[in-house]
C-alpha cells in the first residue's frame, strides 16, 4: 500500500525491478532501484482540457531530480499497484483536484502505451501512459500540492511537441525519444479523430512467469 508522504522524496517506497535483459529481480526500495540503475514501472497521464490543451506541471523545487522542470502527471508504480491505480493516486497527490474523483473515466480504453522504456540519467522507467478528458474540467479548476508541484500550464499539442524536441533538462524532463514520440503521434491521431492503437513496449513480455519464479525462491 502506498503511504502518504509529507516530503517531496519517497525513497522508502518499494518498487518492482528488472535488469537490462528484462529479468525480474524482486522488490527494492526506490533509492536502491535508482542507485543501481534498475528498470522499474511508472505510470503517467495526459490530462486534456475541453480545448484539447495538455496539462503540464512544474516539479517541486524540493525534488532531488529535475527540480522546477516541466513534466506530465506521473509517478512510480509502487508495490503491487496496477498502472491505473498508480496514475490515480499520483494525480490525487500532485493535483488534489476533483477530476480524479471521476475514477471510471480512466480505463484501458484510454491507454496510449504499456511498459514503454523511457531512460534518462539514473532513471530507467517502463511507463504505461493514459489520457483523460475529465467532464466539466476548466483550466482554472486545477489545484496542486506545493510539496509536489510548484505550478502548472496548459500547452497546445504543437507547443508540447516543440518542448519535447528541445529536450532541455533545465526546462523539462521531456526527451526526444520513442516514448514521448509515441505520445505525440497518438495524440495527433486522437485529436484528429483518427484510429488509435496501444503501443506495447515489449520489455516485460515474460514478466508474469519470471515474477512467480522469483517469489518461489
Burial class (CB in 10 A: 0-12, 13-18, 19+), 140: exposed
Q: How confident is the model at residue 216 (pLDDT cuts 50, 70, 90)?
A: very low
Predicted structure pTM score: 0.85
Q: Which three cell numbers stand for residue 4?
A: 502518504
Q: Which three cell numbers stand for residue 146?
A: 506545493
In a domain, 77, yes or no: yes
The percentage of residues in the chain with a pLDDT greater than 70, rounded to a whole number, is 81
In a domain, 217, yes or no: no
Burial class (CB in 10 A: 0-12, 13-18, 19+), 21: exposed
Q: Which three cell numbers stand for residue 186?
A: 497518438
Please tell me the predicted confidence (pLDDT) of residue 93.
79
In a domain, 212, yes or no: no
The percent helix, strand, coil of the chain (3-state, each to 5) is: 30, 30, 40
Cα distances from 65 to residues 69, 168, 170, 207, in angstroms, run: 9, 14, 11, 28
> How far, in whole angstroms, is CA 145 from its chain's centroid?
17
In a domain, 37, yes or no: yes
In a domain, 42, yes or no: yes
Please tell me the predicted confidence (pLDDT) of residue 122.
73
What CATH number does residue 141 fall under? 3.90.79.10
Please tell me the predicted confidence (pLDDT) of residue 208.
52
In a domain, 8, yes or no: no
Cα distances from 138 to residues 51, 134, 188, in angstroms, run: 9, 9, 22
- Whether the per-residue pLDDT at 39 is higher than 80: the answer is yes
Q: Which three cell numbers stand for residue 190?
A: 486522437
Please tell me the predicted confidence (pLDDT) of residue 144.
76
Q: Distance (Å, rounded) from C-alpha 179 to C-alpha 176?
A: 8
Average pLDDT, the chain: 84
Most confident stretch, 33-42, 90-99, 104-113: 33-42
In a domain, 159, yes or no: yes
| Secondary structure letter of residue 122 according to DSSP | T
Please tell me the predicted confidence (pLDDT) of residue 212.
47
In a domain, 52, yes or no: yes
Count how many domains the chain has: 1
**Domain of 61, in residue numbers:** 14-207
Please tell me the predicted confidence (pLDDT) of residue 179.
95
Amino acid at each position: 500500500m502506498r503511504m502518504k508522504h509529507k516530503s517531496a522524496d519517497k525513497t522508502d517506497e518499494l518498487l518492482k525491478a528488472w535488469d537490462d535483459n528484462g529479468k525480474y529481480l524482486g522488490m527494492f526500495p526506490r533509492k536502491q532501484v535508482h542507485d543501481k540503475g534498475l528498470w522499474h514501472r511508472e505510470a503517467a497521464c495526459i490530462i486534456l482540457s475541453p480545448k484539447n490543451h495538455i496539462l503540464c506541471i512544474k516539479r517541486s523545487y524540493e525534488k532531488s531530480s529535475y527540480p522546477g522542470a516541466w513534466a506530465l502527471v506521473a509517478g512510480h508504480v509502487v508495490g503491487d499497484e496496477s498502472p491505473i491505480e498508480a496514475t490515480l493516486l499520483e494525480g490525487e497527490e500532485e493535483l488534489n483536484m476533483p477530476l480524479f474523483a471521476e475514477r471510471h473515466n480512466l480505463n484501458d480504453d484510454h491507454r496510449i502505451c504499456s511498459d514503454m522504456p523511457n531512460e534518462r540519467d539514473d532513471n530507467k522507467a517502463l511507463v504505461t501512459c493514459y489520457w483523460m478528458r475529465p467532464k466539466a474540467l476548466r483550466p482554472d479548476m486545477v489545484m496542486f500540492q506545493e510539496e509536489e508541484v510548484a505550478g502548472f500550464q496548459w500547452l497546445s499539442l504543437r507547443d508540447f511537441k516543440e518542448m519535447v524536441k528541445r529536450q532541455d533538462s533545465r526546462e523539462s524532463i521531456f526527451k526526444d525519444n520513442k516514448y514521448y514520440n509515441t505520445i505525440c503521434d497518438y495524440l495527433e491521431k486522437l485529436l484528429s479523430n483518427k484510429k488509435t492503437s496501444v503501443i506495447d513496449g515489449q520489455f516485460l513480455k515474460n514478466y508474469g512467469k519470471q515474477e512467480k519464479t522469483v517469489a518461489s525462491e
